[in-house]
Structure 1
């Protein structure tokens, strides 16, 4: 910027790759050493199975419509959604 330039523009660079690696490291650190991703996924599947269990006929129809519309992924609670 020259002495007579009244510009307020500021130029800077961010290395998004390094920032993403830092972000992931912080998340992993915050989760702690005892975090088990496979156990977490298993728990989520169990929760979905319970959520969609015991549906009456109308609820089952809505559930199937949501799956066919792509709102819900196929298979969550599928064996228990009756």
Structure 2
């Protein structure tokens, strides 16, 4: 078996800068001129509030436990579950 010496290998690199710029431009074009990120975030907040509204006492306790454990995000702005 002939093993190659790693120092004999030729480095292989790819610069994806242009591809990433093109991808981002395509995403923005697909979103269109009427895309409103503030409205999207407000809609997400409304959906999140609706998802956890109307919980009975036991469901609320379970929800509170999951938030405290970092499994579910809380209700504060910029919320995300702890990792």
Q: Structure 1 length as normaliser, TM-score?
A: 0.69
Q: Which has the higher contact order (CA 8 A, sep 6+)?
A: 1
* Residue of structure 1 in register with 2:21 after alignment: 21
- Alpha carbon RMSD of aligned pairs, Å? 1.8
Deviation at 1:17, TM superposition (A): 2.6
* Residue of structure 1 in register with 2:81 after alignment: none
Q: Structure 2 length as normaliser, TM-score?
A: 0.68
| Unpaired runs of at least 5, structure 2 | 1-10, 77-83
| Unpaired runs of at least 5, structure 1 | 1-10, 77-82
1: CA distance, partners of 2:17 / 2:71: 32
